[in-house]
Amino acid sequence: MKVLVIGGGGREHAIVWKLAQSPRVDRIYCSPGNAGIAELAECIDIDPSDHESLKDFVRYEWIDLTIVGPELPLSRGIVDAFEREGRRCMGPSKSAARLESSKVFAKEFMKRHGIPTAEYRAFTSYLHAEEYVRMKGAPIVIKADGLAAGKGVIVAGTTDEAISALRLIMKEKAFGAAGERVVVEECLDGEEASYLVFSDGETVLPMVSSQDHKRVYDDDQGPNTGGMGAYSPAPVISPEVEQKILDRIIKPTVKGLKREGVKYRGVLYAGLMIKDGEPYVLEFNCRFGDPEAQPILSRLKSDLLEISLAVTDERLSRLSLEWRPEAAVCVVAASKGYPGRYEKGKTITGLDKLKGLPDVIVFHAGTAYNDDSIVTAGGRVLGVTALGKDIRDARQRAYRAIREVHFEGMHYRKDIASRAVKG
Ligand code: AMP
Ligand code: GLY
């Protein structure tokens, strides 16, 4: 079979790496891909938001299955466009992807279906939002309704900070139309974790749990990023907590959507806060997490092609997933300045030393070829994932490996998974 993967980050490298192990996959294409993906797939230079060109490519190359990595094409209806032409495309429809693309939709949906989440109000008027923030006081969370590349959520420690966030989003329109509405939400405390499942609209198959590290610096300091590292499993998701997540969150979400006439086919990702053993939804994503996909897919034993076909063809109930029992830890190396401005084109060295190491995998994110050398081409440059007998072991192996990699200005967190080890 021929498969096209859309995207070019660490998540997509992990997807391509896993697909490449499938005996039924003959050829993989990736749009746009990166230098690491280019070793396993043919990278094609089509913008992931150019659905027409992607559709032409899929028709011309007789692609059997497309897997969509990032949220933007999903929120713009790439799956609907492909399916109208009878093409298999793994990911939720535009309507189902509203769980991620509109926070107001997601909150109202959770309220309708009794899914545990923070208390909230939605506003289109700045004045009403400000009044509400003053009434509630801090800490409080301000969220732009639409997609804002991970920057649209401000956890405000003071009322002034919350009001500045409202101004930024609603008056200065820092996120454009994504900020026409805002959600003002109760601030929850507890421990965060990510819980992902495959869904075909009827059956859900859970993945192993994971935990992301969103802030750029150690001890959760500094601004939020796309994610500086992740590990799996997340000990905070005990079997009891997992059962609650499935019964109170995941199943009611898929069933609730179905009752509203929407089939959720794809990866459903619940970003959770676990407080005293009770899970609450912070956000939904309609795709694999990045970097979570890196440790999760490293642990997946089953064939990702078979799973993806079962999702698109709605026969997940006939499948069960197998996972490696080892733990996995992924540490992300980023460019100097990330998540702010950064330079590109820095030569990356040391990657050869990691080739062939057992259970150490380098997933590229922002990398490109420059003649024969590999150079940086993005904020998050690569992630080093290692498996080990437990999180402590995996963590040591991941850090030992990443110390071999160098590029000018490289930085990474030194405390990925340290809480899980202490715990
Ligand atoms: P989101 O993009 O909605 O996941 O939000 C980004 C980050 O903001 C989350 O990973 C949390 O760390 C934080 N966050 C979001 N909502 C809340 C909330 N209600 N209470 C506390 N922290 C939150
Ligand atoms: N790592 C968080 C996300 O993928 O949204």
Bond before 339 cis per omega within 30 degrees: yes
Its pTM stands at: 0.97
What does the H/E/C string look like for the chain?
CEEEEEECCHHHHHHHHHHCCCCCCCEEEEEECCCCHHHCCEECCCCCCCHHHHHHHHHHHCCCEEEECCHHHHHCCHHHHHHHCCCCEECCCCCCCHHHHCHHHHHHHHHHCCCCECCEEEECCHHHHHHHHHHHCCCEEEEECCCCCCCCEEEECCHHHHHHHHHHHHHCCCCHHHHCCEEEEECCCCEEEEEEEEEECCCEEECCCEEECCEEEHHHEEEECCCCEEEECCCCCCHHHHHHHHHHHHHHHHHHHHHCCCCCEEEEEEEEEEECCEEEEEEEECCCCCCCHHHHHHHECCCHHHHHHHHHCCCHHHCCCCECCCEEEEEEEECCCCCCCCCCCCECECHHHHCCCCCEEEEECCEEEECCEEEECCCEEEEEEEEECCHHHHHHHHHHHHCCCECCCCECCCCCCHHHHHC
- Cβ 212 under 6 angstroms from ligand 2: yes
272 with 378, same domain?
Answer: no
Residues 301 and 398 in one domain: no
pLDDT of residue 37: 98
Give me the helix-helix angle, 304-312 and 10-19, nearest 10°: 100
CATH number of the domain within which 28 lies? 3.40.50.20
CB 374 within 8 A of CB 35: yes
362 pLDDT exceeds 90? yes
For residue 420, name the pLDDT band (cuts at 50, 70, 90).
Answer: confident
- Ligand 2 nearest atom to the CA of residue 287, by list position: 4
**Cβ(227) to ligand 2 under 6 A?**
yes
- pLDDT at residue 9, as a whole number: 97
Q: Is residue 252 part of a domain?
A: yes
Q: Is the pLDDT of residue 3 over 60?
A: yes
Q: Using an 8 Å Cβ cutoff, are 90 and 4 in contact?
A: no
Q: Give burial (CB, 10 Å; 0-12/13-18/19+) of 112.
A: exposed
Mutate to test the pocket of ligand 2, among 212, 214, 332, 416 (most ligand atoms within 8 A of CB): 212
CATH number of 132's domain: 3.30.1490.20
Q: Which ligand sits nearest to residue 284's alpha carbon?
A: 1
- The answer to whether residue 111 sits within a structural domain is no
Q: Whose CA is nearest to atom 5 of ligand 2?
A: 289
| Average pLDDT, integer, range 143-154 | 89
pLDDT of 257 over the 90 cut: yes
Determine the average pLDDT of the residues in 227-244.
97
The rounded mean pLDDT for the chain is 96
CA distance 296 to 385: 10
Does the beta carbon of 187 lie inside 6 Å of ligand 1?
A: yes
- Same domain for 158 and 253: no
Q: What is the pLDDT of residues 296-353, one digit of tens each?
A: 999 999 999 999 999 999 999 999 999 999 999 999 999 999 999 999 999 999 999 9
Examine the domain organization and report whether 307 and 215 are in the same domain.
yes
**Does 423 score more than 70 pLDDT?**
no
Q: What percent of the chain has pLDDT over 70?
A: 100
Q: Indicate whether 261 and 348 sit together in one domain.
A: no
Read off the pLDDT of each residue in 39-58 and give the average, rounded to a whole number: 94
108: in domain:
no
Task: Kindly state whether residue 71 falls inside one of the protein's structural domains.
Answer: yes
Residue that is last in its domain, among 287, 318, 349: 318
pLDDT given for residue 87 in this prediction: 96
Summarize the confidence of residues 72-94 as an average pLDDT: 96
**Closest ligand 2 atom to the C-alpha of 283?**
5
Cα separation of 255 and 201, whole Å? 8
Q: Which of 49, 76, 92 is the last residue of a domain?
A: 92
Kindly tell me if the per-residue pLDDT of 165 is higher than 80: yes
Band of pLDDT at residue 223, cut at 50, 70 and 90: confident
Which is more confident, 110 or 152? 110
Rounded CA-CA distance 23/200 in Å is 23
Contact in structure between 184 and 114 (CB atoms under 8 Å) = no
Residue 364 lies in a domain: yes
What is the average per-residue pLDDT within 65-71? 97
Mean pLDDT of 72-100: 97
**Residues 312 and 195 both lie in one domain:** yes
CATH of the domain at 283: 3.30.470.20
Cβ contacts of 37 within 8 Å, gap of 6 or more: 5, 8, 12, 13, 16, 30, 43, 364
220 and 293 share a domain?
A: yes
Beta strands 140-144 and 153-156, pairing class: antiparallel
Which of 291, 318, 345 is the last residue in one of the domains?
318
pLDDT band at 57 (very low <50, low <70, confident <90, very high): very high
The answer to whether residue 118 sits within a structural domain is: no
Which domain covers residue 340, as residue numbers?
327-422
Window from 114-118, 319-323, 331-335, 419-423 with minimum mean pLDDT: 419-423
Q: How confident is the model at residue 49 (pLDDT cuts 50, 70, 90)?
A: confident
Check whether residue 254 and residue 136 sit in a common domain. Answer: no
Distance, in Å, from the CA atom of 266 to the CA atom of 288, rounded to the nearest integer, reads 9
Q: Are residues 231 and 284 in the same domain?
A: yes
User: Does residue 49 belong to any structural domain of this protein?
Assistant: yes
How many domains does the chain fold into? Answer: 4
Whether the CB-CB separation of 282 and 114 falls below 8 Å is answered with no
Shared domain check, 212 and 288: yes
- For residues 116 and 317, give the distance between their C-alpha atoms in angstroms, rounded to a whole number: 26
Q: How far apart are CA 21 and CA 5, in angstroms?
A: 15
In a domain, 46, yes or no: yes
Q: What is the CATH number of the domain that holds 392?
A: 3.90.600.10
Do 313 and 335 belong together in one domain?
no
**Which atom of ligand 1 is closest in space to residue 118's alpha carbon?**
19
Tell whether the model's pLDDT for residue 150 goes beyond 80: no
Cβ of 378 below 6 Å from ligand 2: no
Backbone angles phi, psi at 274, to 5 degrees: -105, 115
Contact (Cβ atoms closer than 8 angstroms) between residue 320 and residue 223: no
- pLDDT for position 304: 98
Pocket test for ligand 2, best of 194, 210, 231, 281 (most atoms within 8 A of CB): 194
Nearest to 269 by CA among 323, 192, 328: 192
At residue 10, the pLDDT reads: 98
Judge if 196 and 278 occupy the same domain. yes
| CB-ligand 2 contact for 91 (6 Å cutoff) | no
Tell me, what's the pLDDT at 224? 87
